[in-house]
Amino acid sequence: MITDWAIRAIMLLILFKPVNSLANDLYVTQVGDLFDGTITQDGEDNSVRSLNTTSGDAYLGGNNKTFTMTQQGDNNRAGFWTHGGNQQMSLTQDGDNNVSAMDNHGNNNNMTVNIDGDNNVTHTEIGNGGDSANVLTVTIDNGDNNNLYTEVLNGNSNTIDVQVHEQSNNINRVIVNGSSNDITAWQGKHENGTVDSNETGDNDVYWIVSGSNNTLESYQTDDNNKGGLHIANYITGDSNTVHHTQRGSGEHEGFVEINGDNNDVTLLQRGNSDTQFADIVLDDGHTVDVFQRYGDHTANIDLTNAGGGYNLNLDQTASSNKTYNLTGTCTNANGCGVTVTQN
């Protein structure tokens, strides 16, 4: 049954159908279940927010909602705060210098953010009390100098997929507090294997993870320029799986620091003639695979084993300059395994 508040909300959305003007402000506060809403703003300096929340973001409370927001133009602002379950949320911004924020508190929600343009700032957040089974997909296309912030404040079994295409000088920051989360970042390559033709590199990925049984996977490429690729991971927890691939013609830097047990780390760096640098610091028992192909290679690996045994495989191939520094302390009764190959 549609209540009075739902009718008023629908009328409000109808009144704010697509507009072709400047500086339009839309205030949204909607509470209840079974709601569908669509907002489109066309122009510059538009905003979507709420008068009734501390943050000023538009508030959507309840379950089983579908909400779509589209802004076309420059200097737009959109903020959403959702509380509930089984929600389908979509935000699209097409233009430059836009700011967006989407905060989700609940379970089984599906959130999609699409950004097309330069100098945009995007912040997405999941969980504030053990929220689980949420799916977040963020895609940034055809632009440079974008900043992306993704946070799982306190949640488990969430899926985060971040894709950045045809761009350079972009920063992707992911902070996770929880377990059994699946996080994927793509820069310069699509999940179907297609490599961007105009990717120029100089992209950064920073991940800070606290929890266990998380899966972290990233792929960075800059096959068409020498912009450079940089990734840094700081992880506290056990039984995490970390796989990173960097390839292309620019400088590659990979840094992984883990405090925990039984983590699986794989770092593949593949380039042409530039420098590839890997810095890995781990304690306790882990499985570590580092592959460096072409270019000049440097690997610094610090393995301090306080519990289970570790296994390290370092492979440096087809480089005129191959160097590595290995520090390890093995206290496991069954010993530790180290294999270094230089071709």
Has residue 263 been placed in a domain?
no
Compute the distance between CA of residue 60 and CA of residue 48 in angstroms, rounded to an integer: 12
Has residue 91 been placed in a domain?
yes
HEC string of the chain?
CCCHHHHHHHHHHHHCCCCECCCCEEECEEECCCEEEEEEEECCCCEEECCCCCCCCEEEECCCEEEEEEEECCCCEEEEEEECCCCEEEEEEECCCCEEEEEEECCCCEEEEEEECCCCEEEEEECCCCEECCEEEEEEECCCCCEEEEEECCEECCEEEEEEECCECCEEEEEEECCCCEEEEEECECCCCCECCCCCECEEEEEEEECCCCEEEEEEEECCCCCCEEEEEEEECCCCEEEEEEEECCCEEEEEEEECCCEEEEEEEEECCCEEEEEEEEECCEEEEEEEECCEEEEEEEEECCCCCCEEEEEEECCCCEEEEEEEECCCCCCCEEEEEEC
Compute the distance between CA of residue 222 and CA of residue 171 in angstroms, rounded to an integer: 15
Has residue 20 been placed in a domain?
yes
Has residue 99 been placed in a domain?
yes
Each residue's pLDDT tens digit in the chain (343 positions)?
A: 444 444 344 434 433 444 444 567 787 877 888 888 888 888 888 888 776 655 667 888 889 988 898 999 889 888 888 888 898 889 999 988 889 988 888 889 899 999 888 888 888 888 766 788 888 898 887 777 888 888 887 888 889 998 877 666 677 888 888 889 899 888 765 555 555 555 555 677 888 899 999 999 988 876 554 456 778 888 898 898 999 888 877 677 888 888 888 889 998 888 765 677 788 887 777 888 998 887 788 888 887 765 567 888 999 887 678 888 888 777 777 678 888 988 8
Compute the distance between CA of residue 272 and CA of residue 254 in angstroms, rounded to an integer: 16
- In this prediction, residue 112 carries a pLDDT of 92
- In this prediction, residue 241 carries a pLDDT of 92
- In this prediction, residue 227 carries a pLDDT of 52
Has residue 94 been placed in a domain?
yes
Has residue 314 been placed in a domain?
no
Q: Which domain holds residue 92?
A: 1-114
Has residue 190 been placed in a domain?
no
- Give the number of other Cβ atoms within 10 Å of residue 182's Cβ: 15
Number of domains in the chain: 1
Has residue 103 been placed in a domain?
yes
- In this prediction, residue 213 carries a pLDDT of 92
Contacts of residue 263, Cβ cutoff 8 Å, sequence gap at least 6: 235, 237, 238, 239, 240, 241, 242, 282, 286, 287
Sign of CA dihedral 20, 121, 164, 110: negative
